[in-house]
Structure 1
Amino acid sequence: MAQTSLLKGKRFYCREWVFHKIQHCLQEKTNNLSGVISTPSKQPPLAPGGSTSNPGTLTAGSAKSGSSWGVLLVGGPGSGKTALCTELLWPTSAQGTHRGLHQQSLAFHFCRADDSDTLCVGGFIRGLVAQICRSGLLPGYEEKVRDPAVQNTLQPGECERNPTEAFKRCVLLPLLSVKPPQQALFLLVDSIDEGSQLGEGEQRSSPGSPRTIAELLASHHEFLPPWLLLICSARRQNKAITKLFTASGFPVPAGANPEC
């Protein structure tokens, strides 16, 4: 998993409207924390948007479904989705640094078609847990995931056999039980459509078990705490992924942002 900018010293230009939109979404979530908009979040069961017609363009859409809503960045190959996600995490410009959005990053994940480890659902969950513990943004989280029963679900093999249980016990329930941060945070997953075709022919470890990171997040994002904004990017050509998130609370808005 990347820990430094994938731009490798290159400058990032334009796309300011995307950062403004994300900033606005985070502010709305922060207002929710302050009681300006009060909507209780759902608890996970104990048993287990935008579009564009030009491949070189990028659009973003967000939609609300109670307190669980997120941002889906959609664009064609080469439209700058990964570069934008990288700039969001490691700003290269003075304006980006001053904006400070990177300080609201709780965890991130870059899916790569040429690296099967980045497409593994179990590895994704373990990576999230490790990042959240290291971030120091949520006091009390690390203590909760130290529980032996929780740690058992994270073990290689066990996590892969039942990723739903691992995601629930190691990510969702601890996040819902810690004291909310003073400002909203975000979880970023770039190229979430990578690996979707691989998952189509795989045997599920258990009935209803998600085969891909996209399936895992689409079926559980409604249980994320109201202070956490889920940001995903995907290629516009992958209609299955767009439909997956549209059906699960990321409807494409009637009026998308101007293409850029």
Structure 2
Amino acid sequence: MKLRLLVAVGAVAGFLFLSPRASAELITLQLDHTVSSTVSVNLGGTPISNVAPGPYSWSDKNDPPNSNFSSPIATFCIELTGTIVVGGTYVFGVYAPEDAPTIGSADKANAIRALYGNFYNSAWTDPSFKGDNESKAFQLALWELVHETDATKTVSSGNFQTASTAATRANEMLNGLAGGLDKYNNSDYELVALIAPAPGAKDQTPGQDQLAVRPKSVPAPPAALLAGIGGMVFMGRSRLKLRRTTNTV
């Protein structure tokens, strides 16, 4: 019996030792194109002109490709500073939205998830998509959720604002977040932040932080495996006690 327990515990230890350690996930992307239109916004009193709204279309340049993402890859920008150029290649760190410095809080991240749950359109991942009023409004609403410091969320005033023709639709989206988080949680995709330069990466080329969607990841098995082994150990001890009791009668 002791030998069986030692073998079981040894198997678990070996599995945990050989299983991948938690580390920052990286992905190398090339910017293929942005949409044809631009917008002008104001952030903290500073005008920013001719900003390209999302979606941005990217190619996976990892070797081999990052299997956690499905091609084609489309993103929406969350950072209004920094520069990226079509044809440029950037190494991004992959993080939960609340862990992105540009976002920085669970409440803000959940509001963004609600926006995606109610208004994100998977057709925007098509590389041939050239942008429309809906995608532009979505980008403006996203920037509002990321950068606004006022409690009231509107792109018409506050720390982030714009006079874009898509502003009315953006405000409708901001007023229509209810129920979006539940829709997001029940979807088959997850939202991740792409941060460049990626902490710890050899390539520290400055980029611009993005949000992307990808298929939901499968939970890692070690916790379930440990629970199963714990049950084996408990059953083994119970059998051992029963055997000893039987032998002493």
TM-score using structure 2 length: 0.23
Instruction: Choose between structure 1 and 2: higher strand proportion.
Output: 2
* Greater C-alpha Rg: 2
Structure having the higher helix fraction is 1
Q: Which has the higher contact order (CA 8 A, sep 6+)?
A: 1
TM-score, normalised by the number of residues in structure 1: 0.22
